[in-house]
Structure 1
């Protein structure tokens, strides 16, 4: 690994995490065609890059994040209080409940974590998943505009979007693209679909970071000499990610997600062909 590689990976993560084109797919393909064997992918570095974009979500939606943290503890206090709660809960508390419900399907992913990690090294699988992402995006702009927001969306809506997020852990499927599309499908307002998609990513990415760091510590595979390069990649991913969130919100409001379908189809098809040809000439 070099600083140039770390910076490029950070830029790639920051752009593709929020634009609906699959960050995991692009990171896998970039490492493969950059000359690094996907079998030797540094999963810790990949997860830490996601941590960088998690920070950018917290900064961009800091009011929501602080409000949700506050309402989480107030909600717990209300549960154990004799007075309980009356009336409709505040919007931030409903968001907390929706994010919790949407996160539940991710526990099923833990059962196939080994298989999922192996899929990251399969260039053919990633390429086909990118093509599938293209079809999801193509039809997303053709959905009727919804009007549900944090006050009117149901827990069933949150669960459906959460199930889609669990499926989107497959490399090559865009988490942002599929969950935002799922939100539109259940009737979310376009702006809220983007907002909820990014907020619900926080516990998922944080959990993945914790699991990967624990695995690295348990296997004693963490190389301290790579720490400065890790930090550079994380910072770059965070800065670029913040700018990408602003762009996604603008595109969602204008209904321009479908434009990325052609990009996903092109990248998926090119990488599928290149992934077949390159090994032939390397023998």
Structure 2
């Protein structure tokens, strides 16, 4: 006899691995899936945050050379040269960008997480689904706006880039707001090309995803799903996440992600409102 909890966890891990990278929401679609499977919204949110540990592993392995190179630049980090332009300061600038954006994301993300906990405990199931849908639509609108921006193909990041990306990424802990979509959109607004924007977003996902998993673990312990099922889900998200990164980079300029967000978000809003009635 098949174990329903194990199967649901496995599917959730696979979905996390696929949808962590494209700017079409991660927390939102998984929360909706787990809620549809009968899971309590609060437990669903906690489980989804915990699954970020898997995709953090996949991004670290995929970008292992970049991660090693950035860590080697730590001794070269000096006051006043953190965001220095030019090839000599490129690694240092990336390290500074990741560090500043991660700290800002952590501060704002913790506040957003606390707000999320209060929201989930107060909202009924259908209302919560409708709220997630509205956040998905907002993400789609942001992506559509960024899609029409004229690019100047910047490569070096600045302190302003780090502060903006970090602040909006902290808010993206809310289900329905795509972390990848938000960060890449901000970088597109800041005149990075698509490939560079996604690369920085992927690198930034590593410390942030580990932080999200740790925050969930410290706040509520291991998710209220069987330990074996949780481990299977994390492993699945790591393996599938690694395989999906390369695929996304190949189609980054071919798929209209904003349309997917708005379409599925609208369906979620309508469905949630019907359930809430």
- What is the TM-score when the length of structure 2 is the normalising length? 0.85
Residue 130 (structure 1) aligned to one of 123, 126, 136: 136
Instruction: For 2:45 and 2:258, locate their aligned partners in 1 and report how far apart those are by CA, in whole Å.
Output: 29
In the other structure, the counterpart of 2:190 is 186
In the other structure, the counterpart of 1:269 is 266
Query: 1:119 touches 1:125 (CA, 8 Å); kept in 2?
Result: no
Q: Deviations over 1:198-217 (max 9, x none)?
A: 11122212222222222335
Give the secondary-structure state (helix, strand or coil) at the position aligned to 2:73: helix
Instruction: For 2:57 and 2:149, locate their aligned partners in 1 and report how far apart those are by CA, in whole Å.
Output: 31
Indicate yes or no: 2:230 matched with 1:226: no
Residue 7 (structure 1) aligned to one of 7, 10, 32: 10
Indicate yes or no: 2:95 matched with 1:96: yes
Moved runs in structure 1, 4+ residues, more than 6 A? none
Query: Map of 1:3-42 to 2, 5 A cutoff?
Result: 3-41=6-44
Alpha-carbon offset, residue 89 of structure 1: 4.8
Give the secondary-structure state (helix, strand or coil) at the position aligned to 2:226: helix
In the other structure, the counterpart of 1:84 is none
Alpha-carbon offset, residue 105 of structure 1: 2.1
Instruction: For 2:51 and 2:140, locate their aligned partners in 1 and report how far apart those are by CA, in whole Å.
Output: 24
Instruction: For 1:132 and 1:239, locate their aligned partners in 2 and report how far apart those are by CA, in whole Å.
Output: 30
Alpha-carbon offset, residue 52 of structure 1: 0.5
Residue 141 (structure 1) aligned to one of 128, 147, 156: 147
Instruction: For 1:210 and 1:32, locate their aligned partners in 2 and report how far apart those are by CA, in whole Å.
Output: 22
Q: Residues 41, 271 of structure 1: CA spacing in aligned structure 2 closer, same or farther, 3 A cutoff?
A: same
Q: Tell me how large the CA RMSD over aligned residues is.
A: 2.4
Instruction: For 2:113 and 2:50, locate their aligned partners in 1 and report how far apart those are by CA, in whole Å.
Output: 17
Alpha-carbon offset, residue 164 of structure 1: 2.0
Q: Deviations over 1:134-171 (max 9, x none)?
A: 1122222211123111xx33222222222221222221
Q: Deviations over 1:88-132 (max 9, x none)?
A: 754322211111121232213323432123445722211100111
In the other structure, the counterpart of 2:82 is none
Rg larger in structure: 1
Alpha-carbon offset, residue 29 of structure 1: 0.7
In the other structure, the counterpart of 2:167 is 163
Instruction: For 1:111 and 1:139, locate their aligned partners in 2 and report how far apart those are by CA, in whole Å.
Output: 27
Structure 2, unpaired ranges of 5+: 80-85
Instruction: For 1:60 and 1:119, locate their aligned partners in 2 and report how far apart those are by CA, in whole Å.
Output: 35
Instruction: For 1:275 and 1:108, locate their aligned partners in 2 and report how far apart those are by CA, in whole Å.
Output: 28
Q: Residues 148, 88 of structure 1: CA spacing in aligned structure 2 closer, same or farther, 3 A cutoff?
A: closer
Give the secondary-structure state (helix, strand or coil) at the position aligned to 1:63: helix
Q: Deviations over 1:44-63 (max 9, x none)?
A: x3223111011111111111
In the other structure, the counterpart of 1:57 is 59
Deviates more, 1:153-162 or 1:184-193: 153-162
Query: Map of 1:172-183 to 2, 5 A cutoff?
Result: 172-183=176-187
